[in-house]
Structure 1
């Protein structure tokens, strides 16, 4: 994978997770402690190394809070870290990185640096303030031990989580994501049609079509949302307001597949979403694949110069799906 693409994708994924964590405390600026929490949730080798040491999102959050409270006490401030609420990042705006966190991410993508999550983690544990070292101590480990485990699990290819493939008339794109929940919990969530709006933002509600049971071949009708998470009204063209949703595959607890189409669109080409679930340390690894029809003939030729942009936009779409699934369990 191109270093620039890998660094951009890593920055995007860490930014979203970190700012989601900051939003739980009503903060608009994500610091290095939120970057640490984002790495705990990361699907790459950096996240695997942290989870191999027994560091999950719950105990990592607690260690961050305890460290902040201790710092306040050392300054003679009788206060505590504010109570955490729900993630509201997707409902609000105005977020950004602290200068220290932003500089650290940039350094991880600098000369002779890979720019992936492992590079960010290496820079983070070497950060001179000692904050992350202290947090690791609360979690029962050290920076040295973490780097040793990272060396063992790190992939020589960096971040092989994105793939785009084409075949006659069809194209597919895949990514991997990590969810801090058990295999059965994630399976039940993805197999429940009523939960689809939680991970597909283009659908606001799902209604089962009469006479169908929740087995492969069953059909549901989805309707577009009337407003976005931030409360702004959604402007949806009439022909895109209805979705035909079909359960294609249900193989518990390892695979679930859904098909999505627009019944009011003349040239309707359904999109297939496949989820392959694997139990992993600290949660579940999900391989998400999106399959759709390619434009035939001259339309396909005209689209070729735009494919790098399309590939990035498709990655964003799949990444948002994976992030929404993870957010549902946090």
Structure 2
């Protein structure tokens, strides 16, 4: 992976998680404490180092709240903070980074730095305000101990979440995401048909969703009429219905769903495969999507669009992984 791609993907994933955390408090600006929370649930080595040292999302959220209260108390201000609600980032807009957070992320990608989540974490613990150091102290550790953990061999990397093997004649893409929940809960969530509209953006509702989920079972999905932010969605008639089939279920390690358009017979069915593995503080989920490659002149005609296609696949997988993680936060 090139540095440019690594920096872009790291920035995108941290931005999503941080702004989701800010949205729980009704904020539109994500600051360094929200970046810290995003790193706690990051799937790269930085997130594993934080979780291996004993920091989970709930504890980190409490430490951030306590730090904010202590800062106000030091100024002689007595105030109660509104209780955090659910994540509403995907239903709203107008979010941005604070200047110090955006500058910090930019420094992590300087020419002599990797630009990955570990580089962001190193910049964060050295941030001159001392806020993150104080938060770490509330969590029973120090910047030095955290950096030592980050530099230690990455023993918590899951060994059983390989992306599905590429199949001849199929186009595929894959990504990984960390979910802050036990593997059994994540498996139950992915195996439940009623949850599909939560992580598959093209599906708004499912007919007979309560029927038992068994391999070979088929459901009918319907395109969503509105986006999560309330904006209407225009869908061509032939793409209104989805045929959804459970094609594999080996709990709690693997599950696969197939999505096809029964009213568009020339379209290719998409296969979503999820591989789950225990990891420190939760579950590592590998997500792979694939579909049949076009043949003949259609394949040749589509070659110039391949880079755009890869980007769309990555965005789709990124949204799917984010939605699954969000369900447990």
- TM-score under structure 1 normalisation? 0.94
Between the aligned partners of 1:141 and 1:269, the Cα distance in structure 2 is 51
The answer as to 2:7 corresponding to 1:7 is yes
Say if 1:164 and 1:171, in contact at 8 Å, map to a contact too: no
Matches within 5 A, 1:64-83: 64-83=64-83
Alignment correspondent of 1:37: 37
Gaps of 5+ in 1: 156-160
Distance 1:213 1:19 in 2: 36
The DSSP-based 3-state class of the residue aligned with 2:249 is: strand
8 Å CA contact 1:244, 1:263 repeated in 2: yes
Taking structure 1 as reference, are residues 182 and 206 closer, same or farther at Cα in structure 2, changes over 3 Å only? same
1:187 counterpart SS class: helix
Alpha carbons 1:177, 1:285 under 8 Å: kept: yes
Q: Deviations over 1:256-314 (max 9, x none)?
A: 10000000003031100000010111110001110111122233233333323322221
Structure 1 match to 2:53: 53
Alpha-carbon distance in 1 for matches of 2:51, 2:244: 36
Q: CA RMSD in A?
A: 1.9
**Is the CA contact (8 Å cut-off) linking 2:164 and 2:273 kept in structure 1?**
no
Give the drift of 1:71: 0.2
Kept in 1, the 8 Å contact 2:215–2:247? The answer is yes
Q: In the alignment, what sits opposite 1:250?
A: 249
Give the whole-Å Cα distance in 2 for the aligned partners of 1:59 and 1:171. 41
Provide the aligned length of Structure 1 versus Structure 2: 324
Q: Deviations over 1:231-259 (max 9, x none)?
A: 12221111111000000001111111000
Specify the alignment match of 2:230 in structure 1. Answer: 231
Offset at 1:168?
3.5
Corresponding residue for 2:328?
329
Partner of 2:25: 25
Map 1:108-127 onto structure 2 (within 5 A): 108-127=108-127
3-state DSSP of counterpart to 1:100? helix
Q: Who is 1:288 aligned against?
A: 287
Aligned to 1:144: 144
1:91 aligns with 2:80: no
Task: Identify unmatched segments of 5+ residues in structure 2.
Answer: 156-160
> Match for residue 158 of structure 1?
none
Q: Indicate conservation of the 8 Å contact 2:181/2:328, yes or no.
A: yes
Q: Deviations over 1:123-165 (max 9, x none)?
A: 111111100000000001100011111111459xxxxx99898
Contact preservation (8 Å) 1:164, 1:172 = no
Aligned counterparts of 2:190 and 2:131: Cα–Cα separation in 1: 37
CA distance in 1: counterparts of 2:230 and 2:309, whole angstroms: 28
**Could you tell me how far apart the structure 2 residues matched to 1:166 and 1:274 are?**
12
Alignment CA distance shift 1:164-1:10 (3 Å): farther
Q: Counterparts in 2 of 1:295-306, with a 5 A limit?
A: 295-306=294-305
The equivalent of 2:106 in structure 1 is: 106
Aligned to 2:259: 260
TM-score (norm 2): 0.94
